[in-house]
Each structure stands twice: as C-alpha cells, then as structure tokens.
Structure 1
Amino acid sequence: MDEARFELTLGPNLFNWAPEQWRDFYFRIADEAPVATVYLGETICSKRAPLFDEHYEAVAGRLRAAGKTVVHSTLGETASQVDRRLVSDVCQRVSDLVEANDSSAAWHLRGRPHCIGPLMNVYNEETLRFLAAKGARNICLPAELPFASVGVLCTAATAEGVTIEVQVFGRQSLALSARCYHARAHGRTKDTCRFVCENDADGLPLTTLDGKPFLVINGIQTLSYEYVNLAQEIPALTAAGVRRFRLSPHGCDMVLVASSFRDLLDGKIAPSEALARLDTLQLGAPFSNGFLHGQPGYRWTVDQKLS
C-alpha cells in the first residue's frame, strides 16, 4: 500500500455533550490524535448548536494550529425555519470546506468545492456524478452499502476527481425522524425536551420486548447498538479505491482508536493487532461489520474475504 495516500478523518460529534467536555475532547484530538481532517458542527439538532458557540472558534483554531484540516458539517435534516437558517449560516459564513448532510446544504454550496456527508445517501454512480458536477470533492458513503457497491462508486469517483470516504469506527446512523425519540422516551415533546439527550453521552440504548439491546437513539437519530469496526477490512477497502477513513466520535479513548487505525493504514501493524487494541476499549457493546459484507448490519464476521 502507498500509505501516504490514505487519510484518517474524525467525523462530527453526534451527541449532546457538556460544552466543556466537547471543547476538551477536541483539544485532545488536536494535540494527540493522528487524524488529518476533523469535521465540526451540529448535524442532529439545531437547538444544540448554540450550546457550543462559546468554544467553537477556539476549538477550530486549536485544530488548525495542530495542522489539521477543519470541515464544517451541516444538519442532516431541516424541518423548521431555525434549521434552515442554521444551514444557510454555516454554508455562507465559513470560508473553510463545508460538509453537506442534506440537499438544502448542497443547494447553498453548489458551484463551490465542498464535501458530501454520509446522511446524503449516495447509492449509485449517477448521483455521484450529479453531485460532483455541483462541486462535491469528497463523498462519505452511507454505512449500509456493501463492498461491491463501494468498489463501483470508487471507480466512478476516480473519473470525476472525487475522493471516497468510509466510516470505519463508531455507531452507524440508520435513520432520522421529524420527532425527537429522546424527548418522547421521557414524556416530553421536541420543543420542551430540556436537552434530555445530554444524559446519554453515546446515545440511549433500546431493547426488544425480551430485553435484548437493539438500537440506540440520539435525539431524532436512530443509531446501531453495535460499533462498526472495519479494521480487518482496511486492506480490501484501500485496494478498492477508498482514500479516506472516518472515525465517529464517542466517549471512549478516541486517541487510541485513531492511533490504531493510523498504524494500520501505515502498515505498522496487522489488522489482527488493530483489533486486539480496539478490544481493550470496553465499549459495553459489540463490534459489527455486517453491512460491508452484504449481511444484516449488526453481524460480526471474522476473516471473511470481501468481493
């Protein structure tokens, strides 16, 4: 592998952390994590965005000073005037790259270099070509795509001068809703939530009727209960043409996560050693890689070749 071509990125934080915790997390990422690009911004709930305003510029500045590229992420769903104003403000105010997570942001960014986030559902070559013609330069694929589709999209992206990014660690986004599940679970409405989601730093686990953990809710978002971990699939993904590998932030030791994947991409360790390191995180939930193998997303497959 030509390791220099492979970039490790940190996606936007999906959860409602205390502002000081949010700030300190990114300060540590700036100082210690071997990631090249960091996505900042609220992607789930516009009500949360003002909570971090006090620290946003300091965090962005610290990351840039550490040599990292900052990309500003937008909301994944615009359902109100407040949502639309937030998306418009991010797209028009910042001079850095912006990641569009819904079509309203893509409309604001047309004709200007930008990124496409995994909530945009790029499933086929025609969608990729359309977005590239509008200015998209990097596309992070949806979590549910199987390996064969990833390969096809990598080929199309190369022809368009677009890089392909794949999430390789963290809970996977499965759906967004107009309703806030978190508020509803506590007998509140979306407008009277009182930020109850702050009680669940990595999301609120759901269980089936027989008590088995099933999914995780995060405001209006549904996530996988399992943490995707594609360490053993890295060689196949790089061979297919993936050039950027995304980690999704969680409350675990993300520096250890980033270091493990960076060493793997650099050829310093084998996938088996990366898996052994990540097993020490004690996440309280299993790993999964089912989607990439064309299976139900919650499944975990060991050493099965991708094709």
Structure 2
Amino acid sequence: MTPASLQLPRLHLTVGPLQYWWPRQQMMEFYAELAEGPADCLVLGEVCCSRRNEFSHADWLDLARDLQSSGKNVRLATLPLVMSEAELRSVRRITEQTEFSIEAGDTSALQAWSEQAADRRRPLVLGPHLNIYSAAALRETLNEPLRDTPHETVHAGAGISTWVAPLELALDAVALINPVGSSQRVSTEVFGFGRMPLAFSARCFTARHHRLSKDQCEFRCRDDADGLLLRSSEGQAFLALNGISTQSADLQCLIGQAPALRAAGVDRLRLSPCSQGFAEVVRQFDAVLNQGAAAGDALQQLRRLPLPGALLDGYARRQPGMQELEHV
C-alpha cells in the first residue's frame, strides 16, 4: 500500500541563508553537498553583518549559477537591518540583478525592487522579518502601491511569490493569515529547523562579549560556527549570539508536524544551516514529509547528530518557544 504522504503534493524544502561566518572553503563544500541533496530551493547571501566579506556579490552570483545548473531554485536575500548607505547599495545590487528571485529582509528591499522596470523585476519573497503577523497586514502588503507615476502603478502583489511566516507564529495562525483558497493567496513558507534569529540590533553583541567595538571587532564571530552560546545563571542554554543577531540557543524542529503543516496550507519548509550534520537533516525531513518515513524514527536519527542544541517545537503549537519537542 502506498503511504498516504506519497499521495499528497510535495512539501518543498528550502535551505535558508547561512546565518554565520564560515571560512570560504567550508562554505563551498557545504553548498556542493547540498547541490546533490533533496532540497528544492536555496537562499543565498549575507543576512547578518555587512562587514562579513568572505563572499562578494559576484561570488554569490557565481554560486547561485552553479546551484541553478544543479537543478536548484535559488533566491538572493537582503539584509534584515539596513543601517548605512553602503548597505542600502548592497540591497539595490541584489534587487537590480535579473537572474534570481529576491528575498526581502526589510522594506527597503521592497522599495528597491519596485523601482526596477517591470520586465526586469524578479519574483519577490516576503522574508520572515517583515513583521507580517495578520491577514490584514499581508493583504496590505500585497495591495500596497509602491510606486505611482503617470506611466505605471506598481503594487507589491504583482510579483510576490511567497510569504515566509514570522518565526513565533503558531501553525493555526499561519493558516488564518494566508488561507488556502484565498484569491490573493501566495505560497506559504515556515521556519522548520535551526536556531531561530529572534532579534537584530545595531550593536554587535559578539564584539561586546569580547570587549571590542563593533568597528574593530576582529571578526570574532568566525570562531563560533553556530553562534556563541549563552547560559542562564542556572546553567540552562538560553540564547546564542551571532554578531548583531540574537538567536534561540536550541533548534526549532517541525519534523513531527507534517499533518499540521499541511493543514495550515504550508507549501515550503525552511531548514536553517548548522555546521555539522545538516545534509542528513535535510534528508531526514524529506524522508518524513515526502517519502512516508516515520517521524519518530527520523527524530531519533536527528538526536544522534552533533547538532548545536536541543530540538523544540513550542511556537508551532502555541506553547512557549523553549518547550522541547513532544514525542512523535
């Protein structure tokens, strides 16, 4: 008998942008391995600190072309916190390229994207940090006139392909915000694995931890392949520092939520990279979501990997975010 999951539409897997600063060779090996794996889409680009310069814009484009030639869909992501003219120029470079879809980290990317000619504008993804927490906010974003001239009125919805839900949203809330059957519905993507980027600040907390200034940080974040772990006074893993980003210490993991994901109308699940075992993480998610494997067996496999934290799914179930994954 064919497993019921094999009779359902594929739940596409997106590899989110790399949140950390890894050596160039490690990054190249990482993406070469993913090119042979089951992920459908890869999001590329610097999404934390513009001072990290291991890859130039041209390098990201070359990598995107290589991954595309391997059959992957590719997006280029913009920064979620733009603080200088130089960073705004980097946003414009990404929105001006005409080869790959764009993931908007903040509203400056929406505006820069709207300024492109209609025949050059690439599909746009609403990233998870745009604060779209309601159906009204999503409709307003899709209907917002980003440019109104005598020659053309550009509405955001004309070209937006996907909404990535904010990380804290429960799956039943996701279903209400972008319901199946809505005339204005776009594809829904949910953060399904990895340390969650919870907040961004103009201050670099990694530099501050090492008693350095942000502009003279010595690039200490290169020493922390999965961020710098913080513990509470009781010794509990609490948060992780990653430059200007504050993350969860433990990892969101929705591998046991396949029925709820489909019921919420989720089309894509985002898996955020970690430094060890990630290719196997992608394989296990694909096995459960699209090949009929048992979620309990896959969860046991994940727990054997050298992951940087425990596995959680509290937010998805309207529970505290630090609540550990229930038995599946």
Fold in common (TM above 0.5)? yes
- Measured after TM superposition, the shift of residue 202 of structure 1 is 0.4
2:135 to 125, 130, 142: 125
- Measured after TM superposition, the shift of residue 147 of structure 1 is 2.3
Over 3 Å counting, the alpha-carbon distance change for 1:175 and 1:285 in structure 2 is same
Q: What corresponds to 2:252 in structure 1?
A: 228
- Measured after TM superposition, the shift of residue 171 of structure 1 is 0.6
RMSD: 1.8
Correspondence list, 1:285-300, <5 A: 285-300=309-324
| Residue type of the alignment partner of 2:238 | F
Q: Deviations over 1:207-265 (max 9, x none)?
A: 22233221001000000001111111121111221010110011122211111111112
The answer to whether residue 54 in structure 2 is matched with residue 51 in structure 1 is: yes
Stretches of 4+ moved more than 4 A in 1? Answer: none
| Residue type of the alignment partner of 1:149 | A
The answer to whether residue 183 in structure 2 is matched with residue 159 in structure 1 is: yes
Q: What corresponds to 2:194 in structure 1?
A: 170
Q: Tell me the number of residue pairs that the alignment of Structure 1 and Structure 2 aligns.
A: 302
Aligned partners of 2:198 and 2:247 also within 8 Å: yes
Query: 1:160 aligns to what SS in structure 2?
Result: coil
- Measured after TM superposition, the shift of residue 80 of structure 1 is 1.3
Aligned partners of 1:34 and 1:258 also within 8 Å: yes
1:24 to 19, 25, 29: 29
Return the index of the structure with the highest Cα Rg: 2
TM-score, with length taken from structure 2 = 0.87
The answer to whether residue 12 in structure 2 is matched with residue 7 in structure 1 is: yes
Q: What corresponds to 1:67 in structure 2?
A: 71
Aligned partners of 2:253 and 2:325 also within 8 Å: no
Which is further off, 187-196 or 127-136? 127-136
- Measured after TM superposition, the shift of residue 156 of structure 1 is 6.7
Over 3 Å counting, the alpha-carbon distance change for 1:42 and 1:284 in structure 2 is closer
Give the structure with the larger helix fraction: 1
Correspondence list, 1:95-244, <5 A: 95-110=99-114, 112=121, 113-133=123-143, 134-135=156-157, 136-155=160-179, 158-244=182-268
- Measured after TM superposition, the shift of residue 282 of structure 1 is 2.6
Aligned partners of 1:128 and 1:157 also within 8 Å: no
Q: Gaps (5+ residues) in structure 2?
A: 144-155
- Measured after TM superposition, the shift of residue 301 of structure 1 is 4.2
- Measured after TM superposition, the shift of residue 284 of structure 1 is 4.3
Aligned partners of 2:18 and 2:45 also within 8 Å: yes
1:263 to 268, 271, 287: 287
Q: Gaps (5+ residues) in structure 1?
A: none
TM-score, with length taken from structure 1 = 0.93
Aligned partners of 2:104 and 2:124 also within 8 Å: yes
The answer to whether residue 81 in structure 2 is matched with residue 77 in structure 1 is: yes
Over 3 Å counting, the alpha-carbon distance change for 1:25 and 1:157 in structure 2 is farther
| Residue type of the alignment partner of 1:132 | L
Aligned partners of 1:3 and 1:265 also within 8 Å: no
Q: What corresponds to 2:152 in structure 1?
A: none
Report the Cα distance in structure 2 between the residues aligned to 1:40 and 1:158, rounded to whole angstroms: 30
- Measured after TM superposition, the shift of residue 157 of structure 1 is 7.8
Q: What corresponds to 2:147 in structure 1?
A: none
